Amino acid sequence: MSTIASALAASAAVNALPVINLEELGDSEQHTPAHSRLAHIARETGFFYLEGHGISPEHIAHLEAAARQFFALPAAAKQQIAIAQTRHFRGYTGVGGEITRLQPDLREQIDFGEELPAVPPSPETPQWWGLQGPNQWPQAQPTLQSEILLWLDTTRAVAQRLLKAFLVALEQPATALNQLVASPHNHRLKIIHYPGQGSGQPDQGVGPHKDGGLLTLLLQDQVGGLQVQTPQGWLDVPPRKNAFVINIGEMLELATNGYLRANVHRVRSPGAGVSRYSIAYFFSPSLHAHEVPLLSLPAHLASQARGPESDPLNPLFSHIGTNALKGRVRSHLDVAQRFYPQQYAEHLAALASLDPVQKEAAQAYA
Ligand SMILES: O=C(O)CCC(=O)C(=O)O
Ligand SMILES: [Fe+2]
């Protein structure tokens, strides 16, 4: 490589997000240089690409095609599985139907989760058990059910390997969080379509937020628009074919006492006439585990733990069901108003108590 070419490559690398290869991390409990690199990247950048995950490009292409097929259906066929029909936060949300940092998100999506029976509501049953339940499947696209259930299984296996690598990287026993992610699972999946917006129009595809689970495994198409917040400002997360984009969720922030921080990220809408599609898998703690354990980090890591971030609009709860329900209520006000009136009222009261300055800060996630 010429001197100029290598200088250019080096400067591009400064801004590029790192790539982690899951094969290099292996399945052993042995701490390797690849684990040290993972720990460093997870803490410093928080976002990275994951390759070597073993899912074939054909499988990914097939699922992406299924997602596009769904969003191309007539509106009535999509509304047949509208999210507000059940209390399980599963189903279709139209453009503007979801709220992030008090603003509507310009995207449509289907929320799925692990296919489990509903827990019958009763005065003694905590409300967050409503998060568990069956999915809604579109009659107009009967093949989607098996494709989504297969993706949940396939991605769960990758996420389990990645979590184990994280634990080894943090010098924990690889089994340290086994109970937290044991079956019955509570992982979630979303297929998303961001329609293009004309110039001068609002362009909040999804507003700045942290993901609520442990780890997010995201597939995005070739359009771009995902950004992660850094001390230097918003950094683009450009498409990288067949690689997952990985980011850290609130539950891993809590388990590591803020040694790892959940990253704030957002999506800007594509331009007019362009559609962006993505598929987000949220690897999350089981509701049956109740509390997120605090990992006992070795002294040299514990001394760098920053504690969980404090944000008045987004308090973090170590109680798994409470934290998960908080996120869903805030995002899906239609479901909250209908099925969780108490949490809905509390959320509105919290918003009403913000003064204008707090409200502006909350919207900007500044
Ligand atoms: O669509 C994307 O690229 C990101 C979506 C996202 O951050 C989310 O749904 O939590
Ligand atoms: Fe997210």
Tens digit of each residue's pLDDT (9 = 90 or more) over 141-180:
999 999 999 999 999 999 999 999 999 999 999 999 999 9
Distance CA 111, CA 90 (A): 5
**Radius of gyration of the chain measured on its C-alpha atoms:** 20
Total-model pTM? 0.93
Distance CA 97, CA 190 (A): 14
Both structure tokens of 143: 């093949």
Do the Cβ atoms of 181 and 283 come closer than 8 Å? yes
CA distances in angstroms from 95 to 40, 104, 105, 108, 203, listed in the order given:
38, 8, 7, 5, 12
- Which atom of ligand 1 is least distant from the CA of 216? 10
Mutate to test the pocket of ligand 1, among 216, 246, 282, 332 (most ligand atoms within 8 A of CB): 216
To 5 degrees, how large is the angle CA 247–CA 224–CA 222? Answer: 105
Q: Is the CB of 165 under 6 A from ligand 1?
A: no
Do the Cβ atoms of 112 and 135 come closer than 8 Å? yes
Domains of the chain: 17-364 (2.60.120.330)
DSSP letter assigned to residue 129: G
What is the predicted pLDDT for the residue at 8? 42
Report the 10 Å Cβ neighbour count for 209: 19
Mutate to test the pocket of ligand 1, among 47, 93, 203, 206 (most ligand atoms within 8 A of CB): 206
Mutate to test the pocket of ligand 1, among 100, 218, 237 (most ligand atoms within 8 A of CB): 218
Q: Is the CB of 190 under 6 A from ligand 1?
A: yes
Secondary structure class of 338 (helix, strand, coil): helix
Q: Is the CB of 193 under 6 A from ligand 1?
A: no
- Which atom of ligand 1 is least distant from the CA of 266? 7
Question: Residue whose CA is closest, atom 5 of ligand 1?
Answer: 280
Do the Cβ atoms of 267 and 107 come closer than 8 Å? yes
- Which atom of ligand 1 is least distant from the CA of 220? 3
Distance CA 50, CA 290 (A): 29
Distance CA 135, CA 113 (A): 7
Question: Residue whose CA is closest, atom 3 of ligand 1?
Answer: 226
The interface predicted TM-score of the complex, written ipTM, equals 0.99
Mutate to test the pocket of ligand 1, among 95, 204, 226 (most ligand atoms within 8 A of CB): 226
What is the predicted pLDDT for the residue at 5? 47
Helical H runs in the chain? 3-15, 22-25, 33-44, 57-71, 75-79, 144-169, 250-255, 299-302, 320-331, 333-339, 341-352, 356-364
- Helix pair angle (320-331, 341-352), 10° resolution: 70
| Ligand nearest, relative to CA of residue 244 | 1
Q: Give distance in angstroms: CA of 6 to centre of ligand 1.
A: 34
Of the candidates 175, 150, 166, the one whose C-alpha atom is nearest the C-alpha of residue 216 is: 166
Q: Is the CB of 135 under 6 A from ligand 1?
A: no
Do the Cβ atoms of 89 and 127 come closer than 8 Å? no
What is the predicted pLDDT for the residue at 359? 76
Distance CA 106, CA 207 (A): 9
Tens-binned pLDDT, residue by residue, of the chain (366 aa)? 444 444 444 444 445 799 999 999 988 899 999 999 999 999 988 899 999 999 999 999 999 999 999 999 999 999 999 999 999 999 999 999 988 888 899 999 999 999 999 999 999 999 999 999 999 999 999 999 999 999 999 999 999 999 999 999 999 999 999 999 999 999 999 999 999 999 999 999 999 999 989 999 999 999 999 999 998 899 999 999 999 999 999 999 999 999 998 999 999 999 999 999 999 999 999 999 999 999 999 999 999 999 887 676 677 788 999 989 988 998 899 999 999 999 999 989 988 888 887 777 666 553
Q: Is the CB of 331 under 6 A from ligand 1?
A: no
